[in-house]
Amino acid sequence: MAPFFRKIRKSLLGKSSLGRYMLYAIGEILLVVIGILLALQIDNWNEEQRMREIEVKTLRDLKVEFTENLMDARRVYEGNMGVFEATTRLQENAKAGVFAIEETDSLMFYMFDWFDYTPKPGASNNLINAGNLNLIQNEELRYLLTLWSGVNAELDDDEQLSISYSQNTIVPFLAAHYPISNLEKYDFTLTHSDVQIGLNASESLPAQQAYEPSALLKDPVFMSHVSTKKMHAVHNAMECRRVVESCEEILELIEKVLREQTQP
């Protein structure tokens, strides 16, 4: 191609056709510019394809992360609702004068227990910490991902307050006023053979200790602990519900974008 253009250029110069030569020169420049623009366009297209491939991989990683977060958030939500229901029942029994040992023990397990949501760090942290959030094209999904850490932080604040109260106040009180060994048979890890490590549940559980449920349920200090535990459970459940809804919304958008990105 280059020798061809050189021949034309020599021919035009030889005939002293300056006007024609100028047109030819302009045409040659235009061809060079067009070639450069095409090359840049191809490079841009290749880069865009590469970025979209990275986005799809990131979205799939986000899907795994938020699926696990959703499962754990639902677990913690249901656990806190269980605490709320149990503490409510303890209050109702105390008011009605129902002091059955078996039922009281089953409800007391929730006074002893607590739940902690732990989000799985992964693609979302990497995106935000590396400043690559713009890799996600969907604006709504980007917005929800920026809010994600704040949603977790609000739940964590309530949880830490609740856990600290349970560990530092309720458990010492129960140890002094209630036979905690009675709760072992309500512990899932002790009473289900598929999760035991060389233990026989019936042989490892201690005998039930006698106590007076009426004295416990009439104790104003204990009933204050019941009310506090109940309020903590309500706050934790409310914040956990926000985490669940946020996970569900993010996962729905991820699915939508993946369908759009991967469709032929």
Render pLDDT for 77-119 as a digit per residue (tens, 0 to 9).
Answer: 999 999 999 999 999 999 999 999 999 999 999 999 889 998 8
- Select from 220, 185, 225 the least CA-distant residue to 205: 185
Instruction: Determine the pLDDT at residue 133.
Output: 83
Range 216-244 average pLDDT = 96
Is 206 in a helix, a strand, or coil?
A: coil
The DSSP 8-state label assigned to residue 196 in this structure reads -
Question: Is the predicted pLDDT of residue 28 greater than 90, yes or no?
Answer: no
Strands (E), the chain: none
Render pLDDT for 29-77 as a digit per residue (tens, 0 to 9).
Answer: 777 777 777 767 776 666 666 777 888 888 999 999 999 999 999 999 9
Q: How far is CA 17 from CA 7, 26, 29, 218, in A?
A: 14, 14, 18, 114
CB 113 within 8 A of CB 83: yes
What is the distance of C-alpha 190 from the center of its chain?
Answer: 29
User: What are the boundaries of each domain within the chain?
Assistant: 52-262
CB 133 within 8 A of CB 145: yes
Position 260 confidence tier, pLDDT thresholds 50, 70, 90 = confident
Give me 217's structure tokens: 């349920």
Least confident of 12-26, 115-129, 220-234: 12-26
Question: Is the predicted pLDDT of residue 237 greater than 80, yes or no?
Answer: yes
Question: Is the predicted pLDDT of residue 6 greater than 60, yes or no?
Answer: no
The model's pTM is 0.78
Render pLDDT for 190-210 as a digit per residue (tens, 0 to 9).
Answer: 555 555 555 555 566 778 888
